[in-house]
Structures are given as C-alpha cells and as structure tokens.
Structure 1
Amino acid sequence: MRKVLVTLPFLSGLAVALAFLFNWSAALDKRLPVYVQRRFVNATELDACKAIAAAMTTQGSKVVYPLDLTYSSLIEHYMASSTQYSTCVATPASPSDISAAIKVIGSKRIRFAVKGAGHASNQGFSSTPGVQISMTNFQQVVLSGDKKTVDVGPGNIWDNVYQGLQGTGVAVVGGRVSGVGVGGFITGGGGYSFKTNQYGVTADTLVSADLVLPDGTLTTASASQNPDLFWAIKGGGNKFGIIHNFKLKTVPQGQVYGGLRTYTADQVDAIVNATLDFSENSKDPKASVLPTFNFLLGQPGAIVLGFYDGPEPPADTFREFTSTTEIRTFTNDWKTRTILDLVKSAPSDLNGGQRGAFHTVSLEKYSRPLLELIVSELKYYGSQALLHSGELISYDVEPFLPYSQYATDAAWPHSTNALPLNLYFAWSNPAEDAFWTEAIKASAAKITAQAKSEGQNLDNLYLYPNYAVGGTPSSQLYGPNLGRLSSLRKQYDPNNVMGLTTYFAF
C-alpha cells in the first residue's frame, strides 16, 4: 500500500515531514489489471453501456470499458475500499448527454453511481459495479463579470477552483486541503472551510445549481426557482439528480498566512493544551486551526494546519502553537502565501489508495477531558494497528467560532454551531474491513458518551454527512428534516431512479 500518509480530515502525524521517504507509487505495481479483477460482466448493464454510448451525441462524451487505459483513473477513489469495478464508465460532456445517460439507466433499472473527484469514503456513494458516470468533463471555473459569483463544475477539486480564481482578488468558501472534490463536498451538507467562521459552510454560499433530474429533465434550483429542490440538494447527497454546475458567491481574497506544523509524540500533550486554549479564547473569525492527532509509523504525533485570512496575524493569534517555550515544532511551514499555496501545503490526495473509513461526532465544545480521551483512543487503536493491518489512526479536531448566523435553510440542519470531530482509520487488508468499521463506530460512541457525561446536549447537533460512516441512521444526520426530505425525494423521483445508487436512506 502507499506509504505517504497525509490526511485532513485528515492530516497524519509526521506524514508531511516523512512523506517522500516512502514509495507510495509502488502500490500501483501491485494491482492486478482491472479486467482480471472483474470475474463476470452483467449483460443488462453491458447493454445499458452500449445504449448510453449510442444516446450521447456531444463531442467529448464517451463510454469507457475496463481495457481502456483511462478506465482505472475514472473509477479510482481516494480510498481503495470505496472503489468498485464498473461494467463501464460514461463521461458525458454536456447536460443533454447526462440526461441521455440517466434516461437509459432509469429505463433499464441498472445500478449506477455519479463520481466527481472520488473523495467519498463510503462504498457505493459514488462507485458501483454497474455504470459509473464520471463528471470529469465538468471542470469549469467561470467568474462572473462583476466578480460576485463563480460557476464551478462538480468534476473539479478545490485546488482547481482556487487556481482559476488566482489573481482576481476573490475566492470561494471551499476545501482546506489538496485533492478534495467539489460535488459531494457541497451536496453532502457542507462543507467546512477555513472561512466558515466568516461565512458559514460552502452550501451557505450556494446561489444556484444546474442539474438533471432523475427523469432526464434539465432544470435549475435556487432560492427563487424550485426552492424545495434547492433546499434538498444542500445535504441531500445524490438523491435528487445529477448536478453539473454550482454557482457560488465569491468572497474577497488577498494573501493569507498559515500552513502545516508537525509535532512528535512528546509534544502531543502540549498540542492538547494549545487546542484547548485556542478553542476557549480565540475570537478572531479570520483565524482557524485544524489540529489532528495521529498514530503513524508506530507512534502518536500531531499536525496543526493553521490559517489566517490576511498576510500577517496579530501577534497572539496562535500563541499556544507558536510559543518556543511551551512547545517544540518538528517541522514548520507557516508563512505568508496565496490560499492556493496553503491548500497545496496539505496534500491529502497523496494519502490515497488505502482502505479506510471516516466517522464523526458533533459537539457543543471541546473540553480537556474530551481531548484527553481522543488521545487515549488514538493510542489504543494505534496499538491495534499492527495486529489488523492498520496504516493510520487519525482524529481531526475542528474548533470553529459560532457560525449559525450564516446558516441558510438546508436539508442538513447546521444552525446549532455544532463542532465536528472527524475520525479517520486507514488499513491495508480487506479482511480487516469489519474490524476497523466497528472500531471507528465504537470510538465515536465512546467520545459521544463522554461529551454527554459532561452535560453537553447533543440532541440537536446532527452529524455531518460528509464525515459519517455508511449505515449511520439518517435521523442522526437530518433530524426533523427527514420527513420533508423523504417527501421531496418521492416528488422529484417518483420512479426511484436514484434508488439505483447508494446514499443514506430517506
């Protein structure tokens, strides 16, 4: 498996400093050709592939089969456990060809999935043994003439969006690390950003979305056009059609300050102290930190991704993380830079190719007992790694300021200022899937119990869908919105075409 272990949610302990000491590309040489791994072909799905190829007429649209040299990259996901070997991959190049493809899929009732950048952690959410629809041809980044909005395609990663806006004086409320995709990031309820303290989650800046409905109809959803649909796609995942364009509000953007600092095992307690201090005392909405506690290469460690929305932070902004008397840094690249450069300083995409799972807890606050429990859980599951092919154990702490004032009405309820904790476990052996999936659930449950024992009321702090492990009850994600979501799904998809792909049930 790959040995470059950088993540965020995500960031792994000393991985940034050690990453290029390991041959991550060697994993490619160990993979069997995909046509060997596929043991049979479903005849109905193969017929559908041929029908889709005949129905798509736009130049650049095509259907790719397993022997094609581009096939592997089109089905590949960030986590190997999310990848499935599809009968074929359709790459539509126009909304009309998306419509043609979904009409064939609906008429033949075959399995399918829609893939943007492939960062979904749950198998089936954007992968399938049937027909994979890849949005790779939808990577537009088009700034409006007045610079107030930007059209962004779901095939992009956020790096591309920041690159496309470089030098314009504006950016978007987008992803924090390299390699994270646009499509699921928004429709999965979010996403969380360096700028969440100032503007909310990315879905709160969504102006409109152009999409193909499950019956093939082309439409637009916004606050004024199909407002129910607009509400539903902000957290409703892949259940309401295929989005081919997001129109996002832009925000002012100049130079920023930040990057990665890494810390060795003897500094973990100091990072706990620094995180607690920042969480309790920071009042500057331009400042954000993302401390991640990791077990990697047989020992615990930490990484802190720091961000300040300006070229230089006030002197005491990150005092506990930068004090040379309180803490010793192993590596440090915090500096003034562009937002694109900062995002690229955390290349979580290099961590791909492992099996893995995310899960999450939503909290009112981070307390010392909670942070100490997180470190204890880290060490415990780290001790299990050698026994169960574990590659990385990671707990990502996200201490935002209150952001409910920016929250828009959406399928995923997020007006309660919930603070997410992201758990990420990675391993190499498929035989250990059940062990690690149950382990990550158990760890999240233990942390939840600790928060409740402290008196935290978590009843209306709904779990963030993009971090939740597959099979999480939808009531824990959508709460009082679940009934409306279910009704809207029946309204917009009476033939249950989107039921042929996988997501949280509603």
Structure 2
Amino acid sequence: MRFDKSAVIAAWAVTFAIARPFKHLVGEVEDALANLGVDVTTIPQLNGSFTGSACERACGALDYLYGSERVLSENIPAYQNATESYWSAQQQEVKPTCIFIPSIDTDVSTVVLLTQLTECPFAAKSGGHAAFAGASSSQGGISILFRDLNEVSLNDDKSIASIGPGNKWGQVYKALEPHGLAVVGGRLSDIGVGGLTTGGGISYYSNEYGWALDNVESFEVVSAPDGNILRASETERPDLYWALRGGGNNVGLVTKFNLHTIPSPPLRGTTRVFSEDQFSNVLDAFVDVARNARADKNAQQYVVFAHTGGMNIASAELTYTKDVSDPAVFRNYRSIPAISDTSSTRNLSDYCSGIGAGDQNGQRQIFWNRTFKLNDEFAKWVVEHFFSVVARVTDVPGALPMLVFQVITEPMLEMMSRAGGNALGLDASSGPILMIHILSKWNNTSDDDTITGFVDDFFTNVAAEAKARGLNNDFIYMNYASQFQDVISSYGEDNKARLQQIASKFDHSGVYQTLQPGYFKLAGAPVQGTIES
C-alpha cells in the first residue's frame, strides 16, 4: 500500500511539537532518504495513523526496511546476546527499544536520517568497552551495533589499512599479520577500533609512531543532517579531520578508518610483579624509562598497583617492540627482585589476547583519570596515599580497585603535531605527563555510590597535593574518563571552541549533540551537576 506524500508530511507536522528542533528538517531528511532509495511514504510506521512512540516508529521503520535479522527487538535471544556483548554491567543493563546492525555504510546514513524524522535518540557501539551506562548504548532509543562493518583491507602498496568500526583490535592484528604488518591501535584484543581511535589510542608502538589518532590517513564519516558520507584527511576537509582526532563522537559516526600501516615483527613482553617492599625501586625504574623515552622508542610501559590476594603488589607491563630478550631500557626493572615474570616473545595478536585473558564481561566497572607533571616524589606519594585509603572498599563484594601509572612521553607528544595536529591540546613542551588512572570492578549496584565516592575522594586529594606541588595538568584522557568528567573542556578553551565551530559546520542542527546524547559531548560531562562537572 502507498501513502499520499502530502498527508504523511502533514501528519509529521502534527506529530512534531513546535519546540522540537528537527521539525524544519523533514523535507531535507526525506530527500536524503530518497537518494538512498528509501521512500518514506511507503513505510507504515511513518504514517500519521501509527500511534507508537518516537522510537517505536523509528524501530518499526528500520524493521520494515531491513527485517528482524538486522533490527533486534527486546525479548529475543539475539537482543540479549547483543546487550551482553558490552563489557560493563552498567552498559548491559541499558535496554534500547531496538538494536540495529548495519551491513554497509549507507545503512548508517539511513538510521541517522530516520532518527531525525522520529526524534528517537541513538548510540553507536564499536567495541562497547566504555564503562558507564549510555556511553555506547541508548536507553529506550536505538543502539547501533557496528559489528558487521568489519572490513580489514590493504591498498595496493600495503601502506594503508582500511578498517571498519565493527572490528576489535585482535581481529585487525590477525588480519594484518600474514603481511608482516600492523597498525597503531589498542593494547587489548577486545577493545573496539572506533572509540579508541577517535578518543586517542595508546599503543605498544606509541613511543615510535604516536597515538592511534595520529596515524589515521583519513576517515569516512556520516554527516548530519543529510547523512552524506564524507572523507576527511589532512588535505580534504582538514577541519573535520582535526576534530575527529580526539573529538570522540561529536562530529559524526565514522564508518571507515584508513590507518597507516607499520612493520610488525615479533615483540618481547613481560608482566613483572613486585612486592610492596620494592615499590620505591619500581617507581624509580618507571620514571627513568619515562624520562628516557627518546633514547629507545621501542619501549612501552605501564604499572598497576593493587591490593589482591591479601597483599599489596605492583605489576609492571613492559613491552619491547622487537625480539630482544634484555633491552637496556628495562634493566632497572630487571634488577629488582620480582615475585613473578612472564617474559616471552609473541606476535602482536597473541600478546594482546594474553594481556586481556583474565578480563570478563558483565561486572560493574569504573574508569577515572587525571594527568600531572611527572615527578618522582609525587608519584611515590600517590602510591602511598592509594594504599592508605584502599581499605575503605576492599570489603565491597567483588571490588578490585587498581591504580594505573602511564606516561604520555615526549616522543608521543611530538607526534601529536603530525598532519595538522589533533584536538587534544597537548604539545611536547608540557611533557612528560604522568597519567593516573583508576579502574575498579565490583559486583552489586548497591555499592555504586561507595566505589564512586572512593574514587572521587582519591582524585580530589591527589589533585590538591599536585596543586600544592605545582604539578597539576588539565588534560583528561577520554578513553579512561568517568561519566563525571568534562573531557572536551580539558583540551583548552581554544580547542573546545574550535570543536564547537566544526561541529556546527558539519552538523548544523546538532544531531550528534542532541539525538546522540551519550559519551563525552561538547556541552560537558555525561553526568552533569555532580562531582567533577
């Protein structure tokens, strides 16, 4: 059955209240859908006689166009499997009206256009490894799973890998290893390509090549409100290219990442665990490697401090991107007596799988980070303070708070000026930068406030101590941030204003700010009016 076009538009005019911001886009969006082969007058759910909610209309329209294999509704096993694919319990608990699985890039254009017609909110999931509810899931809206946009291909000279946002890094590395290649990407196999790259992307190769966002040759991104797929590179829409390198999901949904490839020989890695009496030596080694990052760019490190098994331990993850059994850069670490050492040579995909082997989906999780000027005595103070207060939550069922030390090294910072720079607001003059990250898991919803309050108090005290020592730094890393942190503002006033200007240019109606409310937006923290926001 066909519907009269004028009647459909008239019905929309009645349905959309005057205050709704997308009412004026009906004709433009309808034309854009027609260009994709979608005639809205044939879709029953978009007829004025359909009485469902905005998201029931949108999901019904998607089901009409794509069928139940690609549009999952609640109470079917495939829907449950999709929600359980998120890493944290908080994201698994989110219940969208439907879950949409695009198979080609123009399917993403279609769903973005339909959400504007119906004013149904949406979110998009690459790997789903953000911790807080709504980061890549939409309560009562549409959750878009990029799962099947999983291309990994090479250009003719193998200098560029074209990668779909549905990939996780383990898939990418396995696809490229037969060619002796890799790309600068995540350090765990189960992390998604999309969020990691647009938010930053610290890699085992970052001392040599920079972060993932600084190794993108170009992006293909769905703009709004027209749903066009735009290419952004250093020479083509360089402003959009700049914004996508650190701006998260604020300027569009990326449907393809074209990344520079790098050689990928076997690497040497170890998890070396130390007892509490060696903490001072471990921190000395950590700072020494950080300050000498230019001397050997093959080295990458982070150190995790935790109370586990009845004792306080430090676990140093030491990675060398060549197969060298005892590189000089790590000899200070090797001189410290260790409880255990897992040194081995592996290819990149196996190494990343091994690092994440103990992680599991479905626990409550929190990320939170702050950055500071690197200082030996301050680092030691932070560790002492952490263990002086961690008993506050050690009795919480399932709780395992971990204090993670990483450094944004001078070589990493120098690479951030490549190809016109990125949106993060960092430069080599501010380095090296100590990044302090709390990751904690726990079991029960009833303990959410206890864990959140503990982490907030910890960083409040750490920031006060840093301020007293003149060591504060404003930058907050998006990929480790909590829902209470205003990441975009931490890039500096000028960069925030530039991101706002670019977002207005490529999304003049604010589709990605209003209909996609999750994750770190230009307006502030995801949860505003509390704690850090």
TM-score category by the smaller chain? 0.7 to 0.9
The answer to whether residue 445 in structure 2 is matched with residue 426 in structure 1 is no
Superposition TM-score, scaled by structure 2 size: 0.80
Q: Report if aligned partners of 2:185, 2:197 keep a CA contact under 8 Å in 1.
A: no
Deviation, 1:222, is 1.2
Secondary structure in structure 2 of the residue aligned to 1:318: helix
The answer to whether residue 212 in structure 2 is matched with residue 202 in structure 1 is yes
* Matching residue within 499, 511, 525 for 1:497: 511
Q: Pick the structure with greater CA Rg.
A: 2
Deviation, 1:457, is 5.1
Alpha-carbon RMSD: 2.3
* Matching residue within 47, 64, 70 for 2:72: 64
Instruction: Give runs of aligned pairs for residues 74-93 of structure 1, distance below 5 A.
Output: 74-76=82-84, 77-83=86-92, 84-93=94-103
- The aligned amino acid for 2:135 is F
Match for residue 286 of structure 1?
A: 298
Instruction: Give runs of aligned pairs for residues 293-308 of structure 1, distance below 5 A.
Output: 293-308=305-320
Match for residue 262 of structure 1?
A: 273
Superposition TM-score, scaled by structure 1 size: 0.85
Secondary structure in structure 2 of the residue aligned to 1:391: coil
Measure the CA separation in 2 of the matches of 1:299 and 1:435.
22
Match for residue 397 of structure 2?
A: 389
Measure the CA separation in 2 of the matches of 1:167 and 1:242.
30
Identity of aligned residues (%): 27
* Matching residue within 180, 192, 200 for 1:181: 192
* Matching residue within 361, 373, 381 for 2:382: 373
Gaps of 5+ in 1: 1-41
Measure the CA separation in 2 of the matches of 1:434 and 1:363.
26
Instruction: Give runs of aligned pairs for residues 317-336 of structure 1, distance below 5 A.
Output: 317-323=329-335, 326-330=336-340, 332-336=341-345
- The aligned amino acid for 2:138 is T
* Matching residue within 53, 63, 72 for 1:53: 63
Q: Report if aligned partners of 2:393, 2:399 keep a CA contact under 8 Å in 1.
A: no
* Matching residue within 399, 412, 423 for 2:407: 399
Give the structure, 1 or 2, with the largest relative contact order (CA under 8 Å, sep 6 or more).
1
Measure the CA separation in 2 of the matches of 1:482 and 1:341.
39
Match for residue 412 of structure 1?
A: 424
Counterparts in 2 of 1:378 and 1:233: CA distance versus 1, 3 Å? farther
Counterparts in 2 of 1:294 and 1:351: CA distance versus 1, 3 Å? farther
Deviation, 1:116, is 0.7
Measure the CA separation in 2 of the matches of 1:228 and 1:281.
34
More displaced 10-residue stretch of structure 1: 70-79 or 208-217: 70-79
Secondary structure in structure 2 of the residue aligned to 1:123: coil
Match for residue 467 of structure 1?
A: 480
Measure the CA separation in 1 of the matches of 2:105 and 2:195.
18
Q: Report if aligned partners of 2:100, 2:144 keep a CA contact under 8 Å in 1.
A: yes
Instruction: After superposition, give the CA deviation of every residue in 1:373-411 in whole Å (9 maximum; x if it has no partner).
Output: 22431451244231x435111111113431222113222
- The aligned amino acid for 1:463 is I
Q: Report if aligned partners of 2:283, 2:376 keep a CA contact under 8 Å in 1.
A: no
The answer to whether residue 350 in structure 2 is matched with residue 341 in structure 1 is yes
* Matching residue within 191, 200, 204 for 2:201: 191
Measure the CA separation in 1 of the matches of 2:464 and 2:285.
24
Structure whose residues are more often helix by fraction: 2
Q: Report if aligned partners of 2:246, 2:423 keep a CA contact under 8 Å in 1.
A: yes
Q: Report if aligned partners of 1:56, 1:101 keep a CA contact under 8 Å in 2.
A: no
More displaced 10-residue stretch of structure 1: 90-99 or 298-307: 298-307
* Matching residue within 240, 244, 259 for 1:229: 240
Measure the CA separation in 2 of the matches of 1:61 and 1:250.
35
* Matching residue within 133, 146, 151 for 1:140: 151
Deviation, 1:280, is 4.0
Deviation, 1:265, is 4.7
Counterparts in 2 of 1:87 and 1:81: CA distance versus 1, 3 Å? same
Instruction: After superposition, give the CA deviation of every residue in 1:106-158 in whole Å (9 maximum; x if it has no partner).
Output: 11111211001101123212011111100000111112221111011111111
Deviation, 1:449, is 2.6
Q: Report if aligned partners of 1:296, 1:393 keep a CA contact under 8 Å in 2.
A: no
Deviation, 1:67, is 2.5
Secondary structure in structure 2 of the residue aligned to 1:399: strand
Match for residue 123 of structure 1?
A: 133
Instruction: After superposition, give the CA deviation of every residue in 1:196-228 in whole Å (9 maximum; x if it has no partner).
Output: 111111100111111211321121111122211
Counterparts in 2 of 1:85 and 1:295: CA distance versus 1, 3 Å? farther
Instruction: Give runs of aligned pairs for residues 270-281 of structure 1, distance below 5 A.
Output: 270-281=281-292
Measure the CA separation in 2 of the matches of 1:96 and 1:235.
24
Instruction: After superposition, give the CA deviation of every residue in 1:18-61 in whole Å (9 maximum; x if it has no partner).
Output: xxxxxxxxxxxxxxxxxxxxxxxx8331221111122348xx97
Measure the CA separation in 1 of the matches of 2:252 and 2:168.
20
Instruction: Give runs of aligned pairs for residues 437-456 of structure 1, distance below 5 A.
Output: 437-456=452-471
Measure the CA separation in 2 of the matches of 1:284 and 1:493.
43
